[in-house]
Structure 1
Amino acid sequence: MEHCVDLGRRETNPVRGVSEYKATKAEREPWPSDLLALYRAECLLGTRERLVMELCIGTGQRIGDVLEMRWFDIQESGFVIRQNKTGKELWVPILPELQAALNAASRHSVFILTNERGTNRWSYRGASAAVRKVRDEIGALDYDIHSWRYNAACELVEAGCGDDLVASVTGQSPAMVLHYTKKVRQKIRAIQAQQKRADRSDAR
């Protein structure tokens, strides 16, 4: 509008003095259990869509690291992982849900997640598009691939793991562990607090 005034196309700027609109960015959250159940029902064992989900949740790694996973990375019933972003080296045991998905997967390449021809690793673009299609079908567009990393961290906290145990799986810094799990921690503490409150009332 100021430019229009400078060009002589307007006499005044109608938006002068109006404060900028500050948009609030929605925080990413873990997938709710009901949507995870729908996803598993939609994507049966043996499909790439199911395998990528189980790998993300089962190992707690970023999608970029998951797509790089190779069959020979499985050692002593766990994944040997070197994170691309941090360079951290981890060994993460394989959970039963992930093992079932691995057992059902076809092996046409050194990569666990492959393209449709089975000749190379699955690209991020391909994986994202395939998962988005499922998300659209089950009404889960608010939750993306990276949200599965939140699921892994939150499930560990809900199981009673401290920050060091969570980080031993996800490879996250203490600050990131707190960031990923702050809502589930608040819920756990609120339940504990209200239980103490109820116990006190019963003792009266």
Structure 2
Amino acid sequence: MAKRELPKHIYRQKNGLYFQRRGWPSLKLANEFGTPEFWMEYADILAGKEMPKRVTSRNFAALVADYRKSPRYRRLKPRTALDYDKYLEFFLSIMSDANPANMKRKDVIRLRDTNAEKIYFANYSLRVLRVLMEHCVDLGWRETNPAKGVQEFKTEKAEREPWPYELLEVYRSTCALGTRERLVMELCVGTGQRIGDVLEMRWSDIQEGGFVVKQNKTSKELWVPILPELQAALNAASRHSVFILTNERGTNRWSYRGASQAVRKVREAIGALKYDIHSWRYNAACELVEAGCGDDLVASVTGQSPAMVQHYTKKVRQKIRAIQAQQKRTEQKRNV
């Protein structure tokens, strides 16, 4: 049977007749062409009785759904994906049915400015929208990314610093050996790893007197020897789970939120709110520089790039160099 003999939007496939129309879902017909039942079914479809809802495939709901199935989303680290999901749900709550092809640069700016009082939220939502609209371009739904080039709000970001030695000792005296608060600090300072990697550490990761670490963020594999302070904390720790840091019931690893809240309570108690968990990674890098280690030795422990080693240790490095410079200056005066 030739296609021209079939009515509009009806196509014959190997397994039967299908109604196919742009913007409508594809539907297989139950009756054979030419029968009274066929014409009644066809009329019902056109009248919307067989398919009461038309499909608008190119909306933000479809875009978000497709993005979540894409390699771009699946490559995200679990914690980053959770962060992205918050903003994707926000977009769905305000423009689920809108066509992303119609979004203009002024709409992106308006969305950013609407959240101007919540600068972090405004900036992060802009980053996620930029990624989402790039995916929209990749799908061929539009030619350009309207979020690309839109500036984030500028913020006065405080420079993170390592915990002062005296304050670190106060923390140790406040949190006795055997507590999770003490153990998480010794693990972070002793291994120089990110909190996410520290929370994933298992007892089986201890091999030949060091920790075998595969960093989540960089996928770098390291072996980091255990310092005496960390060994003392490990000796005092309970071993009723495969994870070194566990939740209160000891059934699973300690969550980031749980660890962050527990450490914050200690920081509040000892007046250390200026210094957070991530600052302990700065402590590790700075202690290595103060011990005379070059960038390659620091990186062998922390797994950082040369640029990040320089960034983490720039203040202590300047202090060390300034001391050396002033000593040379004093020596020169004595010689004269």
TM-score (norm 2): 0.54
Output the CA distance in 1 between the equivalents of 2:206 and 2:321: 37
* Structure 1: distance between partners of 2:229 and 2:186: 7
Q: In structure 2, what is the equivalent of residue 86 of structure 1?
A: 218
CA deviations on 1:149-170 (whole Å, 9 max, x unpaired) are 0000000000000000000000
Mapping 1:163-182, distance limit 5 Å: 163-182=295-314
Q: What one-letter code is carried by the residue in structure 1 that aligns with 2:159? A: E
- Greater gyration radius: 2
Match of residue 9 from structure 1:
none
Determine helix, strand or coil for the equivalent of 1:81. strand
What residue number does 1:14 align with?
none
Mapping for residues 67-146 of structure 1, pairs under 5 Å: 67-146=199-278
**Percent sequence identity over aligned pairs:** 85
CA–CA distance in 2 between the matches of 1:33 and 1:163?
Answer: 22
1:199 corresponds to 2:315: no
TM-score for both structures, normalised by structure 1: 0.89
Structure 1 gap segments, 5+ residues each: 1-20
- 2:316 is aligned with what amino acid? V
Equivalences for 1:18-97 in 2 at 5 Å? 23-97=155-229
CA distance in 2, matches of 1:33, 1:89: 29
1:53-109 Cα distance to aligned partner (Å, 9 max, x none): 000000000000000000000000000000000000000000000000000000110
Greater RCO (Cα-Cα under 8 Å, separation 6 or more) = 1
SS of equivalent to 1:116: coil
The number of equivalent residue pairs is 184
* Matched residue type, 1:66: V
Q: Are 1:162 and 2:303 matched, yes or no?
A: no
Q: 1:95 and 1:37 mapped to 2: Cα distance?
A: 16
- Structure 2: stretches of 5+ with no match in the other structure: 1-152
Q: Which runs of 4+ in 1 moved over 4 A?
A: none
Residue by residue over 1:20-52, the C-alpha shift from the partner in whole angstroms, topping out at 9 and shown as x without a partner, is x96421110000011101100000100000000
* Structure 2 residue identity aligned to 1:84: N
- Against the structure 1 CA distance between its residues 22 and 65, is the aligned structure 2 distance closer, same or farther, given a 3 Å change threshold? closer
Aligned-residue Cα RMSD (Å) equals 0.9
